[in-house]
Amino acid sequence: MATLPTAKGGLAGPASGGPAAAPAPTIAQRAAAPGQLPPARPTLVWLASYPKSGNTWLRLFLANYLLDREEPFPINQIHKLTFGDMIAEPYVRLSGRPAGALDLATVHRLRPRAHRLLSAQGPDLILVKTHSALYIEAGIPSITVPATRATLYLVRNPFDVAVSVADHYALSLDDAVASLCSPGSELQGDGERTIGQRIGDWSSHVTKWADARPLKPLVLRYEDMLRRPLEVFGQVVRHLGVTEDAGRIERAVRFSSFDEARRQEDRYQFLERSEQAERFFRVGKIGKGFEALDEAQRARLIEAHGPAMRRFGYLDADGRPVL
């Protein structure tokens, strides 16, 4: 089993430099008592991906678009608009136990109730970042269908994912490749603000989410987002069923670009950067993973994930990498 360490600040932390960060969304006090749980509402939009696949980029685009920004949205306020499903707060309130006492099995049993709470927190569209694998354990699904409005699922070439995971979590490339190939891979919580999460291996993650019709997924390839951003982000807006405006899309694409995010990180740092990494926004290009991995590492990923890599366009019909 591969366990990836906690990133600095989890998914919502205090600001450190730059514009003051807004407080992270919190669960309404009125919903804290188990006997007062509201019914699930189909409001949650899952922003789902394997780690290091472009989730933060998608969140920045949505922040800029939905708020119709006239200047780039501050990267250290991204949690102002989105929940993160590794945040411990709802699980602590539902269980009455501190985050450090919540193991994965306990968290899993609480998931349907936590999702009900989240679904009742605001308007008809509530954005929730998740890296969770899709699975059913003890009859309980990891993602609650009745609370779901839609899903935006990001997939990225596993060569590039492996190299980015290695940098973010301070792993060797061999260990990063192994984590993408391990069905038991997990993200570790910090025992205070965040809880752990099962992510599994790359193939199972991407195929199960892509095939989960009840969750209404729109599958977005990171590479297409880079090459055809106006087209792909237009699909995002239409899938959410919100007002589509070409000018707003173009502006939100500019305001959420890699160069803009990198500029802000250079000036203010980024709360979601792990302590092990020099920066969060590293390269933002296609094919760097192929160059960084050696032949044996690439072969291991292809052996483990060949069918899924072909399905999503990362291998051709003859099994050769497509960059």
* Statement: residue 277 has pLDDT above 50: no
For residue 272, being part of any structural domain is answered with yes
Question: Could you give the residue ranges of the DSSP H alpha helices within 120-245?
Answer: 158-169, 173-181, 202-210, 222-227, 229-240
What confidence score (pLDDT) does residue 31 get?
42
- The pLDDT > 90 percentage for the chain reads 68
| 285 in a structural domain | yes
Residue 27 has pLDDT above 70, yes or no: no
Number of domains in the chain: 1
pLDDT band at 36 (very low <50, low <70, confident <90, very high): confident
In this prediction, residue 251 has a pLDDT band, given cuts at 50, 70 and 90, of very high
Q: What is the mean pLDDT of the chain?
A: 86
Do the domain assignments include residue 43? yes
**Is the model's pLDDT at 219 over the cut of 60?**
yes
Question: Does residue 203 fall inside a structural domain?
Answer: yes
The answer as to whether 81 is a domain residue is: yes
Specify if 163 maps to a domain.
Answer: yes
Averaged pLDDT, 194-216: 97
Residue 85, pLDDT above cutoff 80: yes
Beta strands in the chain (DSSP E): 3-4, 44-49, 82-84, 126-130, 136-137, 140-141, 148-155, 186-187, 197-198, 217-221
CATH of the domain at 193: 3.40.50.300
Domain ranges, residue 141: 3-10+38-311
Best CA proximity match to 85, nearest among 160, 172, 25, 174 = 25
pLDDT at 19: 37
- Whether 32 is in a domain gets the answer no
Distance CA 171, CA 167 (A): 7
Task: Categorize the per-residue pLDDT at 284 as very low, low, confident or very high, splitting at 50, 70 and 90.
Answer: low
- Torsion angles phi and psi, residue 217, rounded to 5: -80, 140
320 located within any domain = no
CA dist., res. 45 & res. 47, Å (int):
6
The predicted model scores a pTM of 0.87
Q: How far apart are CA 146 and CA 125, in angstroms?
A: 14
Grade residue 275 by pLDDT with cuts at 50, 70 and 90.
low
143-156: pLDDT as tens digits:
999 999 999 999 99
Percent of the chain whose pLDDT exceeds 70: 83
